A and B are shown apart, each in its own frame.
Chain A
Amino acid sequence: MGTEFWVVAEHRGGQLRRPTLEALGAARQVAQAAGGKTAAVVLGKNAGNLAAELGKHGAARVLWVDNDNLDVYSSGGYTHALAELARAQKPDAIVFAASAQTRDLAPRLAARLDTGLLPDCIEMNWDASDGRILAKRFVNSGKALATVKARGTPALLTTRPKAFAIASDTGGTADVVRCDISIDASHCFGKVKQYEQPAAAKVELTEADIIVSGGRGLKGPAEFAILDELAAVLGAAVGASRAAVDAGWREHAAQVGQTGKVVTPKLYIACGISGAIQHLVGMTNSKVIVAINKDADAPLMKLADYAVVADLFLFVPALTAELKRSQK
């Protein structure tokens, strides 16, 4: 019997979201160990053109549910479509990239299918002894690491952004299978009426390779401009501590930490952030950490790979200028 591991493709505006390829990378690696195949599920109107990209990255099949009622995301419609598809085709597991949409969808699907959901996994391995996926995920905001398994089929798992390498290019093509599922408007509760976009496109915090983050040491909202400038030169996203968010200097969307986002960029540059434990749990797994602080004894200065003891108002503009000079 062929085992199959599914990845649910997330797309917006006709574009595949990059974390989907990370989920596909995770699923492919498990499928390989299990001697199974990977398939990608594409829900949505006219989303069939994503199949080429998914095939190229190793999906053997693309299951495409093309339905007018799936034109935009709805928790009801997507849950219905995936549940029907899973009941009919019985995959071993369904993998999603963790995202706002996935966090809305996957738990509802788990309840409907009466199966286990393991969110935000950082590792997945095939356990041949019982034919289940053994996964690792952080608990208690990263203060502990749990090894977990799902009971029930299909197992549902989500991949934490940047924890898995994107599926390599195999140059393959997927068999596109059109799946007919009857979906009417009554299934589609929780439909997104509108996406409000900020004026300027921003690098998504959880997906950024570099993050420049500011805290209370910035002193005010206008002063964040020096971080925006540094970020622009580095192609980085701008984050913030809770102190800066609660003061109204930055949106909550930028907050890093226990009650904000957990980020794992290649490079995290903290400016004027002391490093309270609730902040540390959000960024401690960054590959390289730079802390800039007047106070050499601030906790973040001890955790950092590079700790710069300086006044950030002098140092950050100098860093930006130096970067610009060397990029010329």
Chain B
Amino acid sequence: MKIAVCIKQVPDTSATLKVKPDGSGVDTEGLEFVISPYDEYGLEEALKTKEKMDAGEVVVLGLGPERVTKALRSGLAMGADRAIHLADAAYEGSDALATARALAAALKKAGPFDLIWAGKEAVDDGMSTVGAAIAEFLGIPHVSEVKKAELAADHSSVTCWSEVEGGTAVVEVKLPAVLTAQKGLNEPRYASLKGIMMAKKKELVRFTPADLGLGAEQVGKSGSRTEVLKVEPPPKKQTVTKLIKDLEPEAAAKELLRLLRDEAKVI
């Protein structure tokens, strides 16, 4: 079974972000970058499937600037067999749809794959678009926000459990398919020292748009269908914290309820 995992490199989730004064975006200067957490769940699941079958291949792929190599190497260190980097100045400014179009083209070229994982969303732009859009571009089904997946014994289909409002939806799709990973799927492993050493020797190929048969109008800003006009700091709520302390529980409870009723008027 051939499994692909799409990886996005994003600013470390614990980072405090600064917005550029000109409003053009987040200032990435000096930021640490990591694999977007949901992508790690997808990768872990792919590696587990391969280990269980004791056969097949796991390929990680990502689009973005030079630094993305590091995320792909981390994926290789966790256990992926090879990596594909869509690296070229022409990809710059690609939105979720342009990214999905390019990733789909790379998956076609390097595939066919039986199963493709992506994160349910990237924690930077939060578009939650790429996985489903890849599936559409490849003409195969997808299931979103998967928290549990079970392959059929003959590997012809996969049954997925996804959380929906008020419960869980169970969906079965034929392979090949794209699944997007939700937290709860598994606990991603850490790369071992041996894994990190081995990762250095694993294959990492690069594809330009031309390699994928994509024209200039299909990638980057011209291939995008959304545009960001301005990025600003989030509106700051001015809070003056009222402290309730040194009171017996009953008195403190009474005081809080009074404030919530008479001052905040929320209950």
Using a CB–CB cutoff of 8 Å, the interface residues on chain A facing chain B are 12, 17, 73, 75-76, 79, 99-101, 103-104, 106-108, 110-112, 114-120, 134, 137-152, 189-198, 201-202, 204, 206-207, 210, 234, 252-253, 255, 258-260, 266-267, 276-278, 284-285, 287-290, 296, 301-310, 314-315, 317-319, 321-323, 326
- Cβ contact within 8 Å between B132 and A104: yes
- Cβ contact within 8 Å between B123 and A258: yes
Stretch at the interface among B69-77, B84-92, B168-176: B168-176
- Cβ contact within 8 Å between A146 and B230: yes
| Distance of A287 Cα from B235 Cα, bound (Å) | 13
Stretch at the interface among B43-51, B107-115, B205-213, B251-259: B251-259
| Given A277-B16, A322-B257, 4 other A-B residues pairs in contact with their CB atoms under 8 A | A108-B136, A143-B16, A147-B232, A266-B266
Q: Which residues of A contact B100 (CB under 8 A)?
A: 111
* B64 touches A (CB below 8 Å): no
Binary contact readout B153-166 vs A (1 if CB under 8 angstroms, 0 otherwise):
00000010111111
- Cβ contact within 8 Å between A190 and B163: no
- Closest-CB distance, B42 to chain A (whole angstroms): 13
Of the candidates B17, B129, B136, B166, the one whose C-beta lies within 8 Å of that of A144 is B17
Of the candidates A137, A146, A204, A210, the one whose C-beta lies within 8 Å of that of B267 is A210
- Cβ contact within 8 Å between B96 and A17: no
Using a CB–CB cutoff of 8 Å, the interface residues on chain B facing chain A are 11, 13-14, 16-17, 19, 26, 37-38, 95-97, 100, 120, 123-133, 135-137, 141-145, 147, 159, 161-174, 182-184, 224-235, 237, 239, 241-247, 249-250, 252-254, 256-257, 259-260, 264, 266-267
Of the candidates B97, B128, B167, the one whose C-beta lies within 8 Å of that of A116 is B97
| Distance of A313 Cα from B220 Cα, bound (Å) | 55
Of the candidates B123, B144, B243, the one whose C-beta lies within 8 Å of that of A141 is B123
Of the candidates B173, B183, B227, B260, the one whose C-beta lies within 8 Å of that of A290 is B260
| Distance of A118 Cα from B225 Cα, bound (Å) | 10
Beta-carbon nearest neighbor of A258 in chain B: B13
